[in-house]
Amino acid sequence: MTGSNLILASTSPTRVKLLTNAGLKFQAEAARIDETHLQRQHEKLTAEPLALELARAKALSLSALHGDAVIVGSDQTLELDGSILHKAESLEAARAKLSQLRGKTHHLHSAVACSQGGKIVFEHVSTATLTMRNFGDEFLDHYIEAAKSEILGAVGCYYYEGRGIQLFEKVEGDYHTILGMPLLPLLAFLRQSAIVQA
């Protein structure tokens, strides 16, 4: 199958890189959803089903525009003590969030869904459990100064694949799940469906 028949419903550099590094040929196109509105619409959902609902919505948002192409939607939620935390809108908010997360264990729920012809044909959710070390305020200030506004694009205000790794003392779960897409289950589906070579 050619890249025009596999579409990632995202222009996230991290997700684009994950699929590119896996050797997939695909197009990347921003999902046509209002994520904030959807989160409000599904405010009663817990973190894991919310991630899946958002992934489904992203995949379906492009499905009608691309015939029989397989559309890949993906999303991630962060859960701390049973509550869902969202992206920070400022460095001050990022500092407050990281202060809230330090010394504690949180969960990242990463979902992927594939649509074809306006229907969901595959979905999967994976969870990673991460424990931040109890770092001091001086380290936190240094981290935010070094990372700057790039951390505002990540739900946990860290990029695990970069300097964000220094925030943690223990991690359980798949690397790709932490980055925001359960890649191995997705690849298994694409091979099973003969979308990529087995």
Using DSSP's 3-state secondary structure scheme, residue 79 falls into: strand
Q: In Å, how far are 9, 29, 113, 170 from 162, measured between CA atoms?
A: 24, 25, 26, 16
Residue with tokens 């991690």: 171
Write out the H or E segment, with its range, that includes residue 105.
Answer: strand 105-116
Catalytic annotation on 68? no
Which entry of 34, 68, 75, 137 is annotated as an active-site residue?
A: 75
Cβ–Cβ < 8 Å for 112, 124 = yes
Distance CA 24, CA 39 (A): 30
Closest by alpha carbon to 125, among 72, 181, 82, 191? 181
Q: Any idea which residues carry the catalytic annotation?
A: 75
